[in-house]
Structure 1
């Protein structure tokens, strides 16, 4: 028997009233994207005069120095929060010598961009050796007691310290140590401070997983990697070590902590955000090349509504706790948000 007050109850509780129009949905939206939340990763390639398309990432290019400056200016004009620069050098060696050389392509690119935009947007630098080494690993190699070739953690930290000072001198506002070496944030922070660059911030790749989603990025930086990085990047099966890494990075002086990749690790992002907020440190996330390529490939087949999925994916990353998002869609979405 239906209770006599059913109609009253149904009329009283109607959640759909708050979804009734676009204006209503906008009014009650709990998560909002803003152009300043977005960071645009860009690649600058040595020895080219024109941008070089990256086949696995439609719409993304390896920039020349000139096109890099133009693209950064466009991002600043659109209100994008920052640009993260990666270098693609013409020559590489075992220790990544070009990484801290003043004439290395990344440092030259940083200087050109900072000169062009000043403080209109944040100029960020990827701080890692993988783009600069002939073996493609994120650090200096050595042989362990069993005769196996491994990354030498502490020798790599010395190279990171030199890179940090070079990138700061080139004009970077923010450095992003991404190699997942133990103690890297403390070493970079100490090197910057000793170099008189206490003003330069450190964005820690606190939770960077050994992920299959990085495939297109390897093309973008022309990676020479053989094997994988599972001995220093994190195991996708684990969460607690991400929280440990985030706490350690914060203790070592990280100004921002980041989770990479983003969408497959929203649970990690939420948990890291809670740890970071306890310490008063903001969080970021990286929507990586494989996430971008999946959207583009599915959209090219007509299987998804590209624009809708782009916004949905970024909103979900923000909803999970990211204060800022590295995304190859940064310029496009910033312009869309500005109408």
Structure 2
């Protein structure tokens, strides 16, 4: 048998050669760190299901935000955890509610040093744990929820946020939020639309992080994991309504969807590497089953390769340091 004339292995022979021909690279500026702030805390509180992730106090949030800016990541996504909840999620609209206070804290700390984003959803603030207001029959009332989202968006904009992230998967949410922001004089605030958000089993650890009080499930408004064409329709609608960026969530189980979304639109595409994805790797690494740092970078690279130009990850700051060491 003749020896091969074409040898692709030549381009794998050393770290330097592999680095030279690497097709996909993740940059720290493409990473966004989700952060939780808990009302009333005086010091950060560990989240058991997400080793290394904290519920922050207002003071520790400011410090961690400054460290994230120093690491060179592209943004921060804020989630508020209130001490009290009600049927309508009024704490999300209250200018003095924990999320709006946290936005002001972080913006005053980092200014334009990074992009400050905020989750625009009622689930952390409602006593029933759903992402919207309930109708008398217990279902989520889409249009009544849109009115609440409009108020919440304006409250977050007035707190100084740079980007709002409507994540409740209500029909028409992007258009309503865009009109509300513009009418209130906040045309400069961008919208990162959770355009593709599946009813996933990977959200479990997040529920602990935000102390969710969810009763039932969210399958009547989050998407069926079996569907791709429906996702592309959602993306098309959100872009038509004024979304500046769109997001796919979760990331790793939906890389095919992510690639299809990237091919379909000409706006920036984000992906959220969610709590269950994070927790699986951390658990496997704690048992010695995987090389933790290697797997962190491998998962981020796979998300970037599939088409995400922005990646929300709980490893954002650590990954930024690892990437700087690598390159």
Q: Fold conserved (TM > 0.5)?
A: yes
Which protein has the larger Cα radius of gyration, Structure 1 or Structure 2?
1
Correspondence 1:207 to 2:196: yes
3-state DSSP class of the match of 1:319?
Answer: helix
> What is aligned with 2:267?
281
How many Å separate the matches in 1 of 2:23 and 2:180?
40
> What is aligned with 1:305?
291
Matches within 5 A, 1:183-202: 183-202=172-191
> What is aligned with 1:59?
52
Shift of 1:178: 0.2
How many Å separate the matches in 2 of 1:53 and 1:252?
39
How many Å separate the matches in 1 of 2:93 and 2:138?
24
- Which of 313, 316, 326 is matched with 2:302 structurally? 316
Correspondence 1:22 to 2:11: no
> What is aligned with 1:139?
132
3-state DSSP class of the match of 1:251?
Answer: helix
Post-superposition CA distance 1:249-297 (Å, at most 9, x none):
0000000000000000000000011111xxx201000000000000000
Post-superposition CA distance 1:113-167 (Å, at most 9, x none):
0001000000000000000000000000013xxxx41000000000000000000
> What is aligned with 1:117?
110
- Which of 233, 238, 241 is matched with 1:244 structurally? 233
Q: Give me the CA root mean square deviation.
A: 0.7
Shift of 1:335: 1.4
Shift of 1:337: 1.6
> What is aligned with 1:181?
170
How many Å separate the matches in 2 of 1:131 and 1:33?
31
Shift of 1:338: 2.0
> What is aligned with 1:296?
282
Matches within 5 A, 1:2-151: 2=1, 6-7=2-3, 10-11=4-5, 13-143=6-136, 148-151=137-140
> What is aligned with 2:207?
218
How many Å separate the matches in 2 of 1:23 and 1:159?
54
How many Å separate the matches in 1 of 2:110 and 2:81?
22
Shift of 1:221: 0.2
3-state DSSP class of the match of 1:258?
Answer: strand
Shift of 1:100: 1.1
Structure 2 residue ranges without an equivalent (≥5): none
> What is aligned with 2:311?
325
> What is aligned with 1:166?
155
Shift of 1:90: 0.7
Matches within 5 A, 1:328-339: 328-339=314-325
3-state DSSP class of the match of 2:139?
Answer: strand
> What is aligned with 2:261?
272
Correspondence 1:260 to 2:249: yes
How many Å separate the matches in 2 of 1:205 and 1:274?
17
How many Å separate the matches in 1 of 2:230 and 2:19?
38
3-state DSSP class of the match of 2:259?
Answer: helix
Residues paired across the two proteins, number: 325
Q: Normalized against structure 1, the TM-score is what?
A: 0.95
Structure 1 residue ranges without an equivalent (≥5): none
